[in-house]
């Protein structure tokens, strides 16, 4: 790919898509395109097909998805399964029909079985039952991975799937009803500090999670754009994890909250552990560079700069 290649980023205003856009611009790519959901409904097959036919991008990056935490995933299984399949199927099929040179499909570590041996390897896919609380989202993403693999195997096209671990960073979702654990904690500790209150968190604090700053994922996407990856599926993460309790204490320290943390063990923990084996990506030349503490500081700084907007829109 050259710096004038036309690159369409689906979901360019989301946390992941906007990070990829910023990173590509910083690397000198000048022909980036994106459409808001109002301008292009990715669930509409005809609209997506017409858009790709007209624009003829060289690369499509699928960073568009319906996402959420444990609460949202468990309550809206139908929407998470249906809408994510609609989005990715429309994009993948249009890319195939209109001879798009490269397609990068972004998923999640939740595609792997709940009790798979740690760390999670790409070969673990479809070897056991999924975590029930995000079954719909995971099945949708698994179908996207298999669809890209089928096109790659059957037609020899450069379609690749990148599965990031838990992401966070600027433009994250801090809405407590639909956010993931790290941004939810940032907001909870921030508000508790302002109100001199304790913080109540779900579960026991013992599950272990791996967290990747979204800017590191953006660099992995650029690596996939600039290189033809030899396999169809790659894990993208740091290769290290921490307990939820450690995460909470790290965020508490960075935010400056000094009150009590109360763990509600009647609430679900989710998957006991999710650590990615990232040796395949590391071995071909990509590695994450942002430490968890650095990443949380960066994310909290962004949150503080945008907190009034979140109060207006989300609270």
- Which amino acids are annotated catalytic? 137
Residue 193 marked ligand-binding: no
* 106 is known to lie in a ligand binding site: yes
Does 15 belong to an annotated binding site?
yes
Q: Is 94 left (phi over 0), alpha (psi -120 to 50) or beta?
A: alpha
228/95 Cα distance (integer angstroms): 17
Q: What Rg do the C-alpha atoms of the chain give, in angstroms?
A: 19
How far are the Cα atoms of 67, 102, 148, 156, 161 from residue 166, in angstroms, in the given order? 12, 25, 22, 31, 16
Q: Is 167 marked within a binding site? A: yes
The answer to whether 156 is a known ligand-binding residue is no
Q: Work out whether strand 59-62 and strand 102-106 pair parallel, antiparallel, or are unpaired.
A: parallel
What does the alpha-carbon distance between residue 273 and residue 269 come to, in Å, rounded to a whole number?
10
Note the residue count of the chain: 315
SS3 track for 28-68: CCCCEECCCCCCCCCCCHHHHHHHHHHHCCCEEEECCCCCC
14 is in an annotated binding site: yes
**13 in a known ligand binding site:** yes
Find out whether 135 is annotated in a ligand binding site: no
* Cα separation, 99 vs 80, whole angstroms: 28
| DSSP three-state, residue 191 | helix
The sign of the torsion formed by the CA atoms of 6, 7, 10, 12 equals negative
Asked if residue 270 belongs to a known ligand binding site, the reply is no
214 is in an annotated binding site: no
* 180 assigned ligand-binding residue: yes
Closest CA to 208 of 245, 235, 177: 245
* Contact between 260 and 199 (Cβ < 8 Å): yes
Residue 11 is labelled as binding a ligand? yes
Is residue 187 a known part of a binding site?
no
Report yes or no: 152 and 158 within 8 Å, Cβ to Cβ.
Answer: yes
- Confirm whether residue 246 is marked as ligand binding: no
Tell whether 257 is in a known binding site: no
Binding site annotation covers 12? Answer: yes
**Residues annotated in a binding site:** 11-17, 106-109, 141, 164-167, 180, 188, 202, 209, 269
**Residues annotated in a binding site for NADP(+):** 11-17, 106-109, 141, 164-167, 180
**Residues annotated in a binding site for substrate:** 188, 202, 209, 269
């Amino acid at each position: 790919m050259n710096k004038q290649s036309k690159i369409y980023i689906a979901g360019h205003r989301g946390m992941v898509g906007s990070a990829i856009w910023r990173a590509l611009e910083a690397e000198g790519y000048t022909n980036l395109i994106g459409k808001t959901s109002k301008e292009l409904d990715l669930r509409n097959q005809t609209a997506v097909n017409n858009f790709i036919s007209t624009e003829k991008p060289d690369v499509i990056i699928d960073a568009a998805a319906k996402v959420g935490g444990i609460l949202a995933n468990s309550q809206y299984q139908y929407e998470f399964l249906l809408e994510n399949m609609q989005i990715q199927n429309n994009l993948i099929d249009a890319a195939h029909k209109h001879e798009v040179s490269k397609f990068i499909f972004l998923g999640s570590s939740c595609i792997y079985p709940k009790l798979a041996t740690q760390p999670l390897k790409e070969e673990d896919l479809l070897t056991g039952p999924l975590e029930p609380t995000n079954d719909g989202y995971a099945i949708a993403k698994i179908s996207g991975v298999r669809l890209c693999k089928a096109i790659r195997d059957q037609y020899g096209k450069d379609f690749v799937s990148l599965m990031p671990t838990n992401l966070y960073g600027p433009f994250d979702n801090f809405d407590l009803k639909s956010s993931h654990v790290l941004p939810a904690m940032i907001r909870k500790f921030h508000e508790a500090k302002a109100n001199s209150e304790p913080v109540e968190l779900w579960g026991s604090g013992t599950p272990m999670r791996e967290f990747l700053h979204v800017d590191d994922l953006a660099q992995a996407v650029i690596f996939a754009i600039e290189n033809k990856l030899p396999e169809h599926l790659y894990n993208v993460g740091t290769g290290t994890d921490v307990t939820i309790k450690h995460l909470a204490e790290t965020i508490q320290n960075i935010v400056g909250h000094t009150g009590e943390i109360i763990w509600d063990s009647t609430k679900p923990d989710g998957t006991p552990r999710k650590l990615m084996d990232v040796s395949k990506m590391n071995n071909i030349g990509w590695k994450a560079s942002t430490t968890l503490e650095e990443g949380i500081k960066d994310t909290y700084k962004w949150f503080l700069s945008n907190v009034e907007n979140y109060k207006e829109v989300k609270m």
